[in-house]
């Protein structure tokens, strides 16, 4: 078909050739180059992607840019004692982002490591820095309907003795930096990789068909879709769109940033089924800090075997969260019986290391829902705050239960409440003791929790009437009764 002064030729390629035919990029054969280098005793220097300014980029990584100053191109053995192509098995933690804004590519590469069959297609085995090393490596990427074999030398951009771009968690492993270089060569420079879409890299790594789900509207069965995709060895990623670049939110997520989706799991929490999604930040750090984060006490309520299998308390960029679409609740809400069951399970390990006896009863759980929830329910998202308070109150109770009886007298109660941040005079302490003591004139742990929970609500209510939330409030007995009744 003619167009202007040029001519466009359209060719059909049969399916077998498209799937199996391997095209040599720039006509470079890995085996031929490697054999020639071994015969000559010289390490390969790629003439089609020279180690210099043009390979870095043209703008922010251009020859005169600040970021390009002081860059040296070095082979791994020149700045690493024992370089290896692959240390053990390739894993998602091998891919950690450097100073190049190509999180989309690295998130896709991390997802690729989940499936050895796919990974071996992109990263051919049998390469290394030991026997038969010639300074040449090769990778296979999908481009224009067929697999392309891309050859690179192993000279990498280094600044101040460290790799500028992608690196492995194991600093002597280099398959990921060399794959990044092959991708940069295929597209012209490293800087071309700054900003992109994971979906493009997914196609380049698999030759498959990409699909994008926009969550501006609810996607029916989203969790099932993701779970099925991962089971079928699909590469899956996620990002929160941003028109202002990468912005970190209060809960640790980064808008405008790409994440690998690396797993799904369903867990039982009391009577509630929770659907968890595992994501990984290619930075290798900066994780979600909300519900089901590494430090969330909710994990303590799971059976040990589940917790050990799922939770890794490490700043590695990987974390669990609950997926939700717009307008969906973060998680199911707990009613009083469910909260009682959850607390019974969660507090069992803690009680093993304390003197605190007994459990939290149903009526006290109903009171906790009134104080910390929405009347008759508590969102799992808010359970972390309640759990933190309960652990603190448990520690205070044990501290001031001086005779280790599992109960406190009025004197011990006053000291404990003061330590918990409730500053009361003698009259009010006596009134509380009269209300919460049992027939033996003692206050056990459950009664202490009930007392502390109500005081939390009362103090919260009173602070709204003070300038800056601080000061002294004087109440008559009638006023105290009214506040205690409606708080």
- How would you classify the pairing of strands 22-24 and 146-153? parallel
Q: Is 257 a catalytic residue?
A: yes
Q: Which of 37, 102, 138, 257 is catalytic?
A: 257
Taking 50 as the threshold, does the pLDDT of residue 302 lie above it?
yes
Q: Answer yes or no: CATH 1.10.238.10 is held by domain 334-486.
A: yes
Tell me the C-alpha distance between 192 and 100, whole Å.
10
User: What's the pLDDT tens digit per position in 336-375?
Assistant: 888 888 888 777 765 555 555 557 888 888 888 877 765 5
Residues of the chain with CATH 3.90.70.10: 222-321
pLDDT in tens, 165-203: 888 877 888 998 999 999 999 999 888 888 778 888 999
Residue in 103, 296, 371, 451 annotated catalytic = 103
pLDDT in tens, 390-448: 889 999 999 998 888 888 888 888 899 989 888 887 887 888 888 888 888 888 898 99
- CATH entry 3.20.20.140 includes domain 222-321: no
Q: Where in the chain is the domain with CATH 1.10.238.10?
A: 334-486
Predicted local distance difference test score (pLDDT) of residue 428: 79
138 as an active site residue: the answer is no
For the question of residue 281 being annotated catalytic, the response is: yes
Give a three-class secondary structure readout of 47-94. Answer: CCCCCCHHHHCCCCCCCCCCCCCCEEEECHHHHCCCCECCCCCCCHHH
With tokens 């280098």, the residue in question is 37
Which residue is catalytic, options 96, 102, 281, 365? 281
Q: Which pLDDT score, from 0 to 100, does residue 330 have?
A: 47
| Model pLDDT, residue 186 | 94
In the chain, what is the greatest distance between 2 CA atoms, to the nearest angstrom?
A: 102
> CA-to-CA distance for 238 and 259, rounded, in angstroms?
5
- Going by their DSSP bridges, the two strands 162-163 and 237-239 should be labelled as unpaired
* CA dist., res. 90 & res. 108, Å (int): 14
Average pLDDT, the chain: 80
């Amino acid at each position: 078909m003619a167009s202007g002064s040029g001519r466009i030729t359209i060719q059909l390629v049969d399916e077998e050739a498209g799937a199996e035919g391997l095209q040599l990029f720039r006509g470079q054969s890995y085996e031929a180059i490697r054999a020639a280098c071994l015969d000559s005793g010289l390490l390969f220097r790629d003439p089609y992607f020279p180690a210099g300014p043009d390979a870095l980029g043209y703008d922010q990584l251009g020859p005169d840019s600040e970021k390009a100053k002081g860059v040296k191109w070095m082979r791994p053995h020149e700045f690493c004692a024992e370089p290896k192509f692959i240390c053990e098995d390739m894993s998602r933690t091998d891919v950690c982002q450097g100073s190049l804004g190509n999180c989309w590519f690295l998130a896709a590469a991390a997802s690729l490591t989940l499936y050895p069959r796919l990974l071996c297609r992109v990263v051919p085995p049998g390469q290394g820095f030991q026997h038969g090393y010639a300074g040449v490596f090769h990778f296979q990427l999908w481009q224009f309907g067929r697999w392309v074999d891309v050859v690179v030398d192993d000279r990498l951009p280094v600044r101040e003795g460290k790799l500028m771009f992608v690196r492995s968690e194991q600093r002597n492993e280099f398959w990921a930096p060399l794959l990044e270089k092959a991708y940069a060569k295929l597209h012209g420079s490293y800087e071309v990789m700054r900003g992109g879409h994971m979906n493009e890299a997914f196609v380049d790594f698999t030759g498959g068909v990409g699909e994008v789900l926009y969550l501006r509207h609810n996607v029916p069965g989203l969790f099932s879709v993701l779970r099925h995709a991962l089971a079928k060895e699909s590469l899956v990623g996620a990002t929160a769109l941003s028109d202002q670049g990468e912005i970190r939110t209060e809960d640790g997520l980064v808008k405008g940033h790409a994440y690998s989706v690396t797993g799904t799991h369903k867990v039982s929490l009391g009577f509630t089924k929770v659907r968890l999604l595992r994501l990984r930040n290619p930075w290798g750090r900066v994780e979600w800090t909300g519900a089901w984060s590494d430090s969330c006490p909710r994990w303590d309520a799971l059976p040990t075997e589940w917790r050990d299998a799922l939770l890794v308390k490490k700043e590695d960029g990987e974390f669990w969260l609950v997926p939700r679409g717009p307008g969906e609740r973060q998680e199911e809400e707990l009613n009083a019986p469910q909260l009682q069951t959850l607390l019974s399970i969660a507090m069992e390990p803690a009680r093993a290391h304390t003197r605190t006896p007994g459990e939290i009863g149903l009526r006290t759980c109903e009171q906790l829902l009134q104080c910390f929830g929405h009347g008759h329910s508590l969102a799992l998202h808010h359970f972390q705050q309640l759990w933190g308070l309960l652990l603190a109150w448990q520690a205070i109770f044990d501290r001031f239960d001086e005779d280790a009886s599992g109960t406190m007298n009025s004197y011990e109660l006053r000291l404990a409440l003061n330590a918990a941040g409730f500053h009361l005079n003698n009259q009010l302490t006596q009134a509380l003791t009269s209300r919460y003591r049992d027939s033996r004139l003692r206050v056990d742990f459950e009664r202490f929790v009930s007392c502390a929970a109500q005081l939390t609500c009362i103090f919260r209510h009173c602070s709204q009437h003070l300038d800056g939330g601080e000061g002294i409030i004087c109440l008559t007995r009638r006023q105290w009764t009214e506040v205690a009744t409606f708080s």
